[in-house]
Structure formats: C-alpha cells, structure tokens
Structure 1
Amino acid sequence: MELRHLRYFCVVAEELNLTRAAARLHMAQPPLSRQIKQLEQEIGAVLFERGARGLRLTTAGQFFYEHTLQILDKVDATVVTTRHMARSERVMFGIGFVPSVFYGQLPLLVRGLRQKDNVELILAELTTVQQIQALKAGRIDLGFGRLRIDDPDVVQEVLFDEPLMAALPVGHPLEGTTPTLEQLAEYPLVLFPAKPRPSLADITLGLFRRHGLKVTIAQEANELQTALGLVASELGITLVPEQVRRVQRDGIVYVYLADKTLTSPVICSRRKGELPSPAMQDANAILEVLVENRRTGRYP
C-alpha cells in the first residue's frame, strides 16, 4: 500500500463520484477505479457501496477514511517540518491556545521561547478539542485550553484553577459588588464562544445548571472581544476568567464573584509518551516558573 493509494481513496471518499475524483486527481477514471479496487482487495474490506446514484462509504470505509485523514495530516506535517529543517537549523515548535488564556502569562512563555536561537514558534488559536487533534497530527507540541478531554495519546496537566469574574456594563446595579450566581442569573447572559463546542460556554452554563439556576441567553458570540462589546452595549453580562480583566475596554467593569470556588482550569496538553525535545525542555522550564508566579500571586 502506497501513500498515493490513500490520497486517491480520500479524494474519492470526498467526491463520492469517480468522474469528479479523477478530474481532481488529473487522471483518467478507469485507472482510478482499478486503484480503489486494488486497495479494497489489499485491505480485505469493501470501502464503497456502488449504486445507480453513485458511491457511498460503507461503515468500514468511513472508519478507514477518518483514520487515513489523520495519517495524511501527520505525513504532511512531517514533510513540512522536514523541509523547513533542511533549510534552517531552527526547530519548529507549535503552541495552540484558546483566546482566554492569552491575557495572562502565556505571552511570557512565547517571549521566552522566541529568545532561543534554535526555536521557531508557530502559534495557532484552537479550541481544546482542536488542540488534541493537532497534537496527534504533529501540527503543535503544546496546547493550552480549559476542557478536560480523555484521549489515550494525550496527557493533560491542570496548571492552576483560575477564578471567574463577571463582566458588566458600566453603571450596572451589580457594579462594585461581589455578586452571587443567583444575582447574576437575574440578568441576560452573553455567551461565548458560540461555536465550536464544547468550550468555555459549556463551563459557564454548567455552573448555573449545577446550582439549579436558569439563565436567559441574550446573545451568543464567537469571539471574546465581540462578547465584551455586547456587554458594553448593555445587552447582558458575561462570565470571564480572571486574566481577561487585563483587557481594558470602555464601558466594561469586572467584579469578582462571592463564591471563590467558581473557577475555570487552565490545562496544558502534550503528546503522551514522547521524550521531551530540547525545545520542549525549554518550554517546560519557562512554564514552571510562570505557573509558580501565578500560584503565588507574583504577577509580571
């Protein structure tokens, strides 16, 4: 089995039409059809159901397609990295993050790694779920998010639990107070991110749900800045992690909550069972100092 067979299969699986797939691959249809049949024979499974209306993936074909995509993603990422290393002695090191963790000490980690002569950083804004996929495909080396995800190929470490705050429009009745969840539930909620889910939005809704509280969602937003803009426009309030308070925006005030146990974790994800590279060792050393500063209240 060769990589080209896998690429042929993926194109056919996406098009579900041999004529269109052959056109995309710049080849004739009969050779493509033979390649697919040879692949099925080699695997020992029927990957496509062939009917008058075209092709349809079998259950085995769908499984093979999903895992083939991961294989090809890994191969492509490896090829890109190898080409880059051939042109430079600098090692590529990828970091994925959710926006709400980038207002604290994560920029200091980036700054510290950028000062290393042998490291070239790649930053990617990704949800925690997307980070897990990117780690397994080799597109990133570290991920920073807020969701606990069980995956046998990834190890997650809770760096610290971060207090939640309420972002209110200036002049709101709760400004200058330390409100309870019950008090906050009386006001419309701006929820973010709207998608993809699960996300911080589910953490927020879960807090109210576990306390038996119902909330009215006034608006959903995909971006943090958009959510804060909606709050400033007095459409509602929203809950944000503590480090977001560094975002100074006209029309917004932040207040701590009465219940100090209402927190959101900051979670670091890494590939499991992988010996740390020199770049990873540098990242871990910097991260250890930054986390200790955060835990002991020594902010930069």
Structure 2
Amino acid sequence: MELRVLQYFLAVAREQNISSAAESLHLSQPTLSTQLKALEQELGKQLLIRNAKGSRKVLLTEEGMLLRKRAEEILELVRMTEREISLSDEVIEGDIYIGTGESDMIRIFARAAKRMQERYPDIHYHILSGNAEFVRENLDKGLVDFGVIYGPVDANMYSSIKIPIRDTWGVLMRKDSPLAEKQVIRPEDLRDKPLIVSSQKNDVWPMSNWFREDVTKLNIVATYNLVFNASLLVEEGVGYAVCFDKLINVSGDSRLCFRPLSPKAQAEATIIWKRYQVLSKPVQKYIDALLECCELRETRP
C-alpha cells in the first residue's frame, strides 16, 4: 500500500466525487479510478460505493471508513517524522503534541511552554482534548508525544512525571438549584438528581467509588467530553454536571456555581510518554522544562 495511493483515496473521501478528486490531484479520472480499483483489489475489500443513490456521489463502505481513519493517522505520522528528521542538529524547532482531558493542571504545560518560549521560539504546541480512552489511543498510536492520565501507570510501557496539582471533583449547577444552598454535596444529594457525567466507561469512571453504589442505577441523563458543553446543558436546566473545579467561570454574573464533594474527592494526574520511543529534540527539551516546573510547584508554600 503506497502513501501516494492513500492520499488519492483521502481526496476521493473528501470530495465524494472521483472527477472532483482527480481535478484536485491533477490526475485524469481514468488514472485515479484505476488506482482506486487496484487499492481495493490489494485489500480484498470494496472501499467505495460508486454512483450512490443514482448520483455521481461516492460514499465509503464500512471498510472505507476504517481505511480513511487509518490513512489520516498514517499520513500525519509521516508528516511529523519528516519534519523531525529534516531539522538540523543546531536548530531546535518543531511541534509538540499533548493529549489530555480538561483540567487546571494544564497550567503546568503552560508554564513549561513559557519557560521555553524565549530560547526556542520555533517550537509550537498542540493540545488535543478528550477523555482517557482518547488520550491513550492517540498516545499508543504515536499521534501525541505526551498523554495525561489519572490512576496507575504501567511502568513497563511508559515513562512518567507525577503532576503536583490535584483536581477537585464537585458539581456544577445553576445558582437557583436547590443544591446550591449547600456548601458541599454528598452522595445522597445526587442519587435522585439528573446527572451529566464524563463519557468514560462505567467500570472505569473514577467517581464510581464515591457514589458507593452501582453507577448504572444513577439517573445519568447526558455525558460529555468537554466540560464547556456540559455547562451549557447545566445552564439550560438539563441536570447537574459532575466535573473538576476551576474549568468553568462561576464568578460575577454567571448563572452557575460549583460545590465540592463530601467526602472530598480529588484526582491525581500523571504525564506519560512511551518508554522506548525516540524523542525529538523539542520533546526532550520540553520534558526538562516540565520537570523543572513540577519541582518548583512542589516547593511553593
């Protein structure tokens, strides 16, 4: 399977039309069609539904959708690798990719980036946000350099830095909600309430133990990947969002407020990267900056 043909395939998937894709690639339509048929023969699967619903529109089969996802990942890795290798020994520049959920501990990454900014102005930072499953998947595929996870770390697979900031769990709610009168929220306060929770699998959701009962018995009306989206649901009265503190502004004229949990629930995060991967020069420098920032944070009063 050639990279060139994968690029052809992605162009067709994007344009949903072979003629338009051929034009964008500066190829003739017969040439492009021949390449696509050869790719299908090589894989032994139909990838495209041609003349879908009697139109000239081209749709992807289930196998075609899978190939599109993998092809995008492959080509992105190729671009990252070419850029890293092409840089000279004297120049330190490039891109750093970070996979993480939403958390106030992103400040650690910001401090490290600020430390490096004057000395290495040509390093650029890219933060990809998602839940734990998203972070691990992108890290293991090599699409991010670092991942931030909560819970135990497999030391055989990953090197790690413990983040000296703990996230505090609580409930985001409207200021006119009945629970807003409380200073802290207890498990029994939420058992009959409509809840909005992070979209983790039930068996790995970190708040399962705090509730002290089967999570499937809770009234979960919605899930979220990004807390901002959850906050909009809360504002509209859909339910109460279980989330970390300091992610949504609840000061001033905000209609929302945040109440911590009791018993207190905190989450400890770890920065991880593949133990045996070859790190680019920007990533190596950034690890040093992260270590310095974490040490400084730990010594602050």
TM over 0.5: yes
What are the residue-to-residue correspondences of 1:76-155 with 2, within 5 Å? 76-79=79-82, 85=87, 89-92=91-94, 93-101=96-104, 104-117=107-120, 120-128=123-131, 129-132=133-136, 134-135=138-139, 140-144=144-148, 146=150, 155=158
User: How many Å apart are 1:276 and its aligned residue?
Assistant: 3.8
Q: Figure out how many residues of one structure are paired with residues of the other and give that number.
A: 285
Query: Could you tell me how far apart the structure 1 residues matched to 2:7 and 2:142 are?
Result: 19
User: How many Å apart are 1:40 and its aligned residue?
Assistant: 5.8
Query: Could you tell me how far apart the structure 2 residues matched to 1:148 and 1:115 are?
Result: 35
Distance 1:40 1:157, change over 3 A: same
Query: Could you tell me how far apart the structure 1 residues matched to 2:104 and 2:201 are?
Result: 13
Query: Which residue of 2 is the match for residue 26 of structure 1?
Result: 26
User: How many Å apart are 1:258 and its aligned residue?
Assistant: 1.9
Query: Which residue of 2 is the match for residue 46 of structure 1?
Result: 44
SS in 2 for 1:34: helix
Query: Which residue of 2 is the match for residue 257 of structure 1?
Result: 261
Unaligned ranges ≥5, structure 1: none
Query: Could you tell me how far apart the structure 2 residues matched to 1:50 and 1:278 are?
Result: 41
User: How many Å apart are 1:47 and its aligned residue?
Assistant: 3.7
Query: Could you tell me how far apart the structure 1 residues matched to 2:270 and 2:291 are?
Result: 13
What are the residue-to-residue correspondences of 1:9-20 with 2, within 5 Å? 9-12=9-12, 18-19=18-19
Find 1:283's aligned residue among 275, 281, 286: 286
Query: Which residue of 2 is the match for residue 73 of structure 1?
Result: 76
- Higher mean alpha-carbon deviation, 178-187 vs 225-234, is at 225-234
TM-score of the superposed pair, with normalisation by structure 1: 0.66
Query: Could you tell me how far apart the structure 2 residues matched to 1:148 and 1:12 are?
Result: 43
Find 2:213's aligned residue among 211, 216, 220: 211
Query: Which residue of 1 is the match for residue 170 of structure 2?
Result: 165
1:100–1:241 contact (8 Å) kept in structure 2: yes
SS in 1 for 2:103: helix
User: How many Å apart are 1:198 and its aligned residue?
Assistant: 4.2
2:172–2:234 contact (8 Å) kept in structure 1: yes
Query: Which residue identity lines up with residue 270 of structure 1 in the other structure?
Result: W
Distance 1:192 1:179, change over 3 A: closer
2:73–2:143 contact (8 Å) kept in structure 1: no
1:95–1:141 contact (8 Å) kept in structure 2: yes
Query: Could you tell me how far apart the structure 2 residues matched to 1:221 and 1:290 are?
Result: 30
Query: Which residue identity lines up with residue 48 of structure 1 in the other structure?
Result: Q
User: How many Å apart are 1:185 and its aligned residue?
Assistant: 2.7
Distance 1:105 1:158, change over 3 A: closer
1:180–1:257 contact (8 Å) kept in structure 2: yes
Question: What do the CA deviations read for 1:148-173 (whole angstroms, capped 9, x no partner)?
Answer: 999x9x74758366441233444754
Distance 1:164 1:24, change over 3 A: same
Query: Could you tell me how far apart the structure 2 residues matched to 1:61 and 1:235 are?
Result: 37
SS in 2 for 1:159: strand
User: How many Å apart are 1:178 and its aligned residue?
Assistant: 3.2
Query: Which residue of 2 is the match for residue 266 of structure 1?
Result: 269
Find 2:244's aligned residue among 241, 246, 263: 241
- Higher mean alpha-carbon deviation, 11-20 vs 161-170, is at 11-20
Query: Which residue of 1 is the match for residue 7 of structure 2?
Result: 7
User: How many Å apart are 1:50 and its aligned residue?
Assistant: 8.4
SS in 2 for 1:279: helix
Cα RMSD (Å) of the superposition? 4.7
- Higher mean alpha-carbon deviation, 50-59 vs 69-78, is at 50-59
1:98–1:144 contact (8 Å) kept in structure 2: yes
2:47–2:63 contact (8 Å) kept in structure 1: no
Unaligned ranges ≥5, structure 2: 53-57
Distance 1:198 1:257, change over 3 A: closer
SS in 2 for 1:255: strand
Distance 1:66 1:178, change over 3 A: closer
User: How many Å apart are 1:74 and its aligned residue?
Assistant: 1.6
